[in-house]
Amino acid sequence: MRIASSAMNAAYAQLQTTGQNIANASTPGYVRREVVLAESGSNDSSGWVGRGVDVTAVRRVYDQFLVRESVASRSAAAQDTARSDALTRLDTLFADSKSGLGAAFDDLVGAFTDVTARPSDPAARSTVLARAETFANRAARLDAQLLELRDAAQSRMQSEVSTANDTLDALAAINRRIIDSNGSGGQPNALLDQRDKLLGDLNKSLRANATFGTDGAITVTSQTGEPLVVAGNASKLMLTSDPLDASKRSISVVRGTGVTLAMDAGQIGGTLAGLMKFSNEDIDAARAQVGRITASVAGAFNAQQALGLDATGVAGQPMFAFGAPTAVGAAANVGNAQFGIAIADSKALKASDYEIGFDGTQYAVTRLSDGVVTNFASMPQTFDGLTLSVGSGAPAANDRYLVRSATTFASGARSLLTSQQRLATAMPVVTEAGASNGGDLRAASLDIASIGPTTAATVSITFTGPNTFSVSGVGTGNPTGLSYSPGMQLSFNGWTLKLDGSPVAGDTMRVSGTPNPAADNRNARLMQGLGDAALADGASIIGRYSELIGDIGSRNQSARSQGDMSQRLYDDAERARNEMSGVNLDEEAARLMQYQQAYQAAAKVMATANEMFRSLLDAAG
């Protein structure tokens, strides 16, 4: 009867455990249980005598290595997925080729076709102004949308930090309960399940390493070794601003003692790392490229406007305004230097911001887009189309400054011309060969470098022979006996004239003010030619815009491929873990029948023993 009773108890424990497995088959984090049995008996003079079976434990079917692999791969998958999803939204922002910045630039250049054909037509001029406004508005709106994507990513980062802190607190509480339960004997299986689930949830937010103690409690650390959970105590994560660039976010660990330690951005892992890379790197790269395009277009058209005359005969005013570069010192700076930043050449601008470091003797300027460092012994200096100077004060050793250049240009983009008459379609001067010239002297080209008070003054060129000439007029100094050769250039009053042909004595060429600027289309043709010109660091605007689209697409495709691969690795690791620790209902159903039969067999043994006992009593009277 003792043997039968122990067998029934064992079978009942197995039935109960199997029922628990079936009931929790869909419970998140549940680890399958199994009953551990041991034979009961003792040795006597005749040898080993069995006394039935003992239930020694109900254990979790668990492999610590598989759990480690699963939570580690979950962190990588979460990081890649978060960045891939964010980049997909960024890619969508640039997906419409008909309403993008490149299309707006094409429309602006195309509008000059009608102005070139009909420079005095108010409608054609107004169309150019409308297209200029469209381009500026799209640039500013695109920059604003990029900032909205960054803000959304940073808001999600804050949410992830809050979730991670809740998880850390829960892990610390579970640790305390596990430690307390050890005194009562047996494994706290439900608590251990909760512990592993919380560890997996934490690794979704950030990469965390766990060390399992003999008492079942875990010590959780970051990738850099910062303690996050020790016994029943949890640290806090905090989303902070970068000390140099307040627009960027970083993660710090706040210990219970109040000590705050910054975490290495490259080793955070999880969703936080993916969002941080998108917010701090991908968005700034896109903003810098959009900003360079905006500044290059604005700078080129403004410069060409300044070299022409509008319909009223006045020198052209700027067509566009855009954001100005700035320099901001780090919070820890000791010096009081105020840097001035000016655009020296819009065609040489890079798609990058800069960091200035001062070691006490020289300046190190780092281009943030590629890490190239240029050292300067003094200021001012001109590089990458910018002029950098110390406006006031002086830097101290180890001071750092952030130069916001390319990422600021698009934010302030707007069209400035409000009247179609202000479009400078004309050049300030015209050339005219003498009517009685006997040779084939001609003006091969006329270029304007600047417009000044004497630009429109009449200048006469008179040939005294086929190889000599003299010049007369305001601003020329009236030189005589100058030597002539075909293709030579003359520069006076802000213009440069290239002469060609074979003149004879008495031939003349005159440069004078444009008589009817409203009907002149020469400067408009030059503006139209900007469409194919190398305006942006050696490339055309459309070329740079295509480069921007390609860069975003490449980042998105790379992140998606990486995300797919890391997700497959996580799925494989989770599948391996589930194969060992998960509940298979078919297998549990088979075990249920097996344990039921065992219980029935034990009951049969019990009934047989009872019947034998009754027979013995009856035989004994």
**pLDDT of 184:** 63
CB 101 within 8 A of CB 139: yes
Q: Considering only the C-alpha atoms of the chain, give the largest distance between any 2 of them, rounded to a whole number of Å.
A: 162
Residue that is written with structure tokens 């067509």 in the block:
319
Q: For 433, phi and psi rounded to 5 degrees? A: -75, 150
The per-residue pLDDT for range 32-82, each reduced to its tens digit, is 999 999 988 877 767 777 788 999 888 888 888 888 888 888 888 999 999
User: Which strands make up the sheet holding 442-448, listed edge to edge?
Assistant: 442-448, 495-500, 489-492
In 434-583, DSSP assigns E strands to 442-448, 459-465, 468-473, 482-483, 489-492, 495-500, 508-513
Residue 198, classified by CB atoms within 10 Å of its CB into exposed (0-12), middle (13-18) or buried (19+), is buried
Helix (H, G, I), strand (E, B) or coil at 497: strand
> What is the chain's alpha carbon radius of gyration, rounded to the nearest angstrom?
41
Instruction: State the pLDDT at residue 185.
Output: 61
- Residue linked to tokens 């300046």: 363
Could you give the CA distance from residue 339 to residue 335 in angstroms, rounded to a whole number? 12
**Other residues' Cβ atoms within 10 Å of the Cβ of residue 389:** 14
Residue 415's pLDDT is what? 96
What residues in the chain have per-residue pLDDT under 50? none
Do 542 and 24 touch, CB atoms closer than 8 A?
no
Whether the CB-CB separation of 309 and 388 falls below 8 Å is answered with: no
Q: Indicate the angle between helix axes 541-581 and 101-117, nearest 10 degrees.
A: 160
- Residue 585: how many other CB atoms lie within 10 Å: 11
Question: Residue 525: what pLDDT?
Answer: 96
Q: Side chain identity at 228, as an amino acid letter?
A: L
